[in-house]
Amino acid sequence: MQEEQITRMYRDMGISEGVYRFGAQIESRLKDRFDEIDRIAEYNQMKVIRAMQESRVNAGCFQYTSGYGYDDLGRETLEKVYAGVFHTQSALVRPQIACGTHALAVALAANLRPGDELLSPAGKPYDTLEEVIGIRPSRGSLAEYGVSYRQVDLLPDGTFDYEEIEKAMGERTKLVTIQRSKGYQTRPSFSVAQIGELIAFVKRIRPDVICMVDNCYGEFVELTEPSDVGADLVVGSLIKNPGGGLAPIGGYIAGREDLIENCACRLTSPGLGREVGASLGVMQSFYQGLFLAPTVVAAALKGAILAANIYEACGFGVVPDGKESRHDIIQAVELGTPEGVIAFCQGIQAAAPVDSYVTPEPWAMPGYDSDVIMAAGAFVQGSSIELSADAPIKPPYAVYFQGGLTWPHAKLGILMSLEYLVRKGLVTL
């Protein structure tokens, strides 16, 4: 009776019997994978609770502060919590950090000076960083301030080209930036172990070089973080994994004390640093979102694995594939045509609790070099820990699916994306 009621509910939501049964067959094979994810979430949940307890989080930490924000107990305690979670000397966690790109821009601009060189050993960075660096000319880029840039492309198998990395590291190399997640590429995302091996290699050549990891989409996916394997800075967005779907804005930078102080002075002002910046009533959401983050990330991971297995079974290329270990919450699906990408995103939108009636279309989004389609019916605008999908409308016409605050919602979104492809004759089950 219970299964009949669930099946009827999916039908009422617009999922045909064929799509539902196809998904159920795939899901039945994934129990062991899902159990492993739950165990990682359990460990990371204990890690977060311990950091909160050791930092003596209390109800006073949730109080509203305004103006300059001097002596903000909640802000100062939260930064101790983040340092505890990431096992770093210090952290900067602020609503004044607008997004992940802003957090990365602050960390780079704070720790690079004219004449320094920035090295990316993982190939091209995420699209929005191209203008931060100056790969695409933009006002206020690092290039305008005399910071040069060099990148080493990955080997054909998606691994680091250590020989070329060593050649690329010169006297001017000041900071090495490592993007953990794939971004709008179909390369593999990097495990914490792979990142640790790269950092150790860089430090053997130049111990003084700063190693920064763009940790977006990777927090709480594994038992460890890049800061556990030698990263001097780890950077991310609170409207992705660590905000747990509750943080309404914000970003974090965790790492070495002197580098974090540089970041604080860049974010606010020299001489003021981390002493200013009111929390404006968001502290409870920041704390509670971090508390929920390990289990929210687990739900998103289950959704990504289900998506990989479903679309692989339909004959599409998926990165990572259905059996690979996971190192971020993003699932790439190579649909091969603009029509496939658009149908997928429209299905995700139709499964949303917010704006489900909206039909997403590609548009010229700021910061990107092609039209982009984005699907997200989110409680927090742009929150990609919530169920969402986006894609640049250019070859290989891959869509990037991520998020899901709960496993049932992630599952509904995947089934609805498949339903839309089936309805438009782009997939035959």
For the cut 70, the answer to whether the pLDDT of residue 133 exceeds it is yes
Average pLDDT score over residue span 44-53: 98
Answer yes or no: is pLDDT of 289 > 70.
yes
Measured between alpha carbons, how far is 139 from 205 in angstroms, rounded to an integer?
34
Amino acid residing at 377: G
**Region for 321 from its dihedrals, namely left if φ exceeds 0, alpha if ψ lies in -120 to 50, beta otherwise:** beta
According to CATH, the topology of domain 64-281 is Aspartate Aminotransferase; domain 2 (3.40.640)
Token code pair at residue 400: 């990037």
Q: What does the alpha-carbon distance between residue 346 and residue 417 come to, in Å, rounded to a whole number? A: 7
pLDDT at position 122, please?
Answer: 95
CA-closest candidate to residue 181, choices 138, 234, 117: 234
Is the pLDDT confidence value at 250 over 70?
yes
398-402, strands of its sheet edge to edge? 317-319, 331-334, 398-402, 388-392, 372-376
Share of the chain above pLDDT 90, in %: 95
With CA atoms as reference, report the closest residue to 392 among 418, 367, 424, 419: 367
Read off the pLDDT of each residue in 176-200 and give the average, rounded to a whole number.
93
pLDDT digit string, tens, across residues 344-371: 999 999 999 999 999 999 988 776 778 9
Residues 6+ apart with CB under 8 A from 246: 285, 286, 288, 289, 292
Statement: residue 128 has pLDDT above 70: yes
pLDDT of residue 352: 96
pTM over 0.85: yes
Report how far residue 207's alpha carbon sits from residue 15's, in angstroms, rounded to the nearest whole number. 56
Domain ranges of the chain: 2-43+291-423, 64-281
How much is the CA Rg of the chain, to the nearest whole Å?
21
pLDDT-based confidence at residue 185 (cuts at 50, 70, 90): confident
- What is the model's pLDDT at position 186? 77
Tokens of 334: 């190579």
- Per residue in 310-345, pLDDT tens? 999 999 999 999 999 999 999 999 999 999 999 999
- 416: closest CA among 398, 391, 389, 395? 389
127 pLDDT higher than 90: no
- CATH number among 3.30.470.30, 3.90.1150.60, 3.40.50.2300, 3.40.50.1380, domain 2-43+291-423: 3.90.1150.60
The whole-number pLDDT of residue 1 equals 63
Cβ burial of 230 (10 Å; 0-12, 13-18, 19+) is middle
Separation CA 308–CA 188 (nearest Å)? 13
d(C-alpha 156, C-alpha 25), whole Å? 34
Cα separation of 66 and 60, whole Å?
A: 15
Per-residue pLDDT reduced to its tens digit, 225-242: 999 999 999 999 999 999
Please check the confidence at residue 272 and state whether its pLDDT lies above 80.
yes
Token pair for 371: 């039209």
Summarised one tens digit per residue, pLDDT across range 69-119 is 999 999 999 999 999 999 999 999 999 999 999 999 999 999 999 999 999
- pLDDT of amino acid 143: 97
Q: Is the pLDDT of residue 19 over 70?
A: yes
Confidence at residue 366, expressed as pLDDT on a 0 to 100 scale = 75
Q: Are 390 and 375 in contact (CB under 8 A)?
A: yes
